[in-house]
Amino acid sequence: MRQRRTGSEPAALGVSGFDEWLRTQLRVRRMSQRQLAHLSGVDHSTISRLVLGLRAPSLATVTKLVQGLRGFGHAIDTPELFD
């Protein structure tokens, strides 16, 4: 089981579950992190850290990721993520 850092991890910043949400979006689309990086303009290393739960996304990053995911041709499921 992987361990997460404390302090600035997503759960500590109130975005618990973003890593799972992003992994699900990639899996459903059969999309790689590199494809998302290309379509969104977000660096691959940033996406990797987000998927691993090692970094909390900024609003600007989330916006770019959603635009990249939408560009891949599927609806975006954002249930409780933005409540």
Domain boundaries, given as residue ranges, for the chain:
10-70
Instruction: Please give the mean pLDDT across all residues of the chain.
Output: 81
Type of residue at 29: R
pLDDT surpassing 80 at residue 27: yes
Return all residues near 25 (Cβ < 8 A) that are at least 6 apart.
31, 69, 76, 77
pLDDT tier at 9, thresholds 50, 70, 90: very low
Q: What is the largest CA-CA distance in the chain?
A: 36
Q: Would you call 24 helix, strand, or coil by DSSP?
A: helix
How do residues 42-71 score in pLDDT, each as one tens digit? 999 999 999 999 999 999 999 999 999 998
Q: How far apart are CA 29 and CA 59, in angstroms?
A: 22
pLDDT surpassing 50 at residue 24: yes
Question: So what's the pLDDT on residue 71?
Answer: 84
Q: Which CATH architecture has domain 10-70?
A: Orthogonal Bundle (1.10)
